Amino acid sequence: MGLDARRDVCVDRFRPVAASMVVAIHTDPLADVSPMLNEALVYGIFRVAVPFFLMVAGRYVLAPFLAHLPGSRDRMRRYALRAAMTYLLATAAYLPLMAYAGNLPASAPAFLRWFLVDGTVYHLWYFPALVLGLATCRVLSRFGARSAFAAAVALYLVGIGGDSYFGAVGTAEPLEPMYGVLFSCVGYTRNGLFYVPLFLMLGAVSRPAEEGVRARDGVLLVVSLLAVATEAFLTSALGWQRHDSMYLSLPFASWFLFRILLSVRPRARCPLDAVAPASETVYLVHPYAIVAVRGAARLVPVLVSSVPLFSAVLALSFAVAMGASRAAPTVGFAATKVLEAARSIIH
Residue 323 domain-assigned? no
Say which residues have a Cβ less than 8 Å from residue 337's Cβ, sequence separation at least 6: none
- CA 332 to CA 328: how far, in whole Å? 6
Lowest-confidence region among 34-38, 94-98, 246-250, 339-343:
339-343
Q: What is the percent of the chain with per-residue pLDDT over 70, rounded to a whole number?
A: 92
Count the neighbouring beta carbons within 10 Å of the beta carbon of residue 219.
11
Cβ neighbours, 10 Å, residue 33: 13
Is residue 217 domain-resident? yes
Looking at residue 100, its pLDDT comes to 83
Interval 191-246: pLDDT, tens: 999 999 999 999 999 998 877 788 899 999 999 999 999 999 999 999 999 999 99
**Residue 136 within a domain:** yes
Question: Quick check: is 2 in a domain?
Answer: no
Could you tell me the residue range of the domain that residue 83 belongs to?
Answer: 43-267
pLDDT tens digit string along 130-146?
Answer: 999 999 999 999 999 89
The average confidence (pLDDT) of the chain is 90
| pLDDT, tens digit (0-9, with 9 covering 90-100), for 303-347 | 999 999 999 999 999 999 999 877 655 444 443 444 445 444 444
CA dist., res. 146 & res. 315, Å (int):
43
pLDDT beyond 70 at 48: yes
The mean pLDDT of 39-57, rounded to a whole number, is: 97
Given this model, what pLDDT does residue 6 score? Answer: 47
Q: Do residues 47 and 254 lie in contact, with contact meaning Cβ atoms separated by under 8 Å?
A: no
Is 292 among the domain residues?
no
The percentage of residues in the chain with a pLDDT greater than 90, rounded to a whole number, is 78
Asked if the structure places residue 253 within a domain, the reply is: yes
Residue 252 CA neighbour count, 13 Å, CB half: 17
Kindly tell me the burial class for residue 86, based on how many C-beta atoms sit within 10 Å of its own C-beta (0-12, 13-18, 19 or more).
Answer: middle
- Number of neighbouring beta carbons within 10 Å of residue 338: 10
pTM for the predicted model, two decimal places: 0.91
Phi and psi angles of residue 25, each rounded to the nearest 5 degrees, phi first: -60, -30
pLDDT tens, position by position, 7-28: 589 999 999 999 999 999 999 9
Residue 18 lies in a domain: no
Number of domains in the chain: 1
Give every CB contact of residue 69 below 8 A, 6+ residues apart in sequence.
none
Q: What is the pLDDT of residues 284-295, one digit of tens each?
A: 999 999 999 999
158-165-109 Cα angle (round to 5): 60
Q: What is the pLDDT of residue 328?
A: 57
Mean per-residue pLDDT, 32-49? 96
Would you say residue 223 lies in a domain? yes
